[in-house]
Amino acid sequence: MNPTTERKRRRRRPEVAEREILEAAGRLLTERPANEVTVGAIMEATTLSRKSFYVYFDNRYDLLRKLVEPLAAERDAIIDPLLRPGVDMATGAREALVRLAQLYATHGRLLRALAEASSEDHEAKQAWRDFMDPVIEAHSAKIADEIERGRIRGIEAEPTARALIGMNLQYFFDELVDVPDPDPDATAETLLVLWSRALYGA
């Protein structure tokens, strides 16, 4: 082992080492098929030893989950105010959709890679469900509340929430990821019209 490399490893702060592993995993996930993004491949892309992976992560799923946790927190901060009981869902929806579109314009390659990997990679599927299921559940509850208040009629809450959020994801990926000069505002405006018509008929 190179003595210089060994000294760097010993001096690495835990938060810096963890961040290096996460960044390597995120980079590889957008460059390779998910089944090639193994613990060994991730650690080869860092300046750390393979065994140090397990100092910071329980397993590969734990890493994938932590990789998208900051994005989930940012997303939740955007949408949570709109989903509280009694709040008019249309109020602030345009601003929220613009901010979500900006989030996907910035981080969409990673999220798209994880979404695509979830169809054939068990650990990616778990991490993706952890990322998406709370959003679907929260929107289902909000739509059910709007139905109870008589503001929305003629639809079922959970299937509608799942369909609309799936539409959002695909449209964000298509319009904002690896697209020259993406336009988050125009993307958000299109989705706002579709959500408004689907839920409120207006």
- Total-model pTM: 0.88
Whether the pLDDT of residue 108 is over 90: the answer is: yes
Which pLDDT score, from 0 to 100, does residue 8 have? Answer: 47
Over residues 123-136, the mean pLDDT reads 96
60-200: CATH number: 1.10.357.10
Which pLDDT score, from 0 to 100, does residue 4 have? Answer: 42
Domain layout of the chain by residue ranges: 3-56, 60-200
Which pLDDT score, from 0 to 100, does residue 193 have? Answer: 95
Band of residue 11 on the pLDDT scale cut at 50, 70, 90: low
| Residues 163, 155: Cα–Cα separation, whole Å | 12
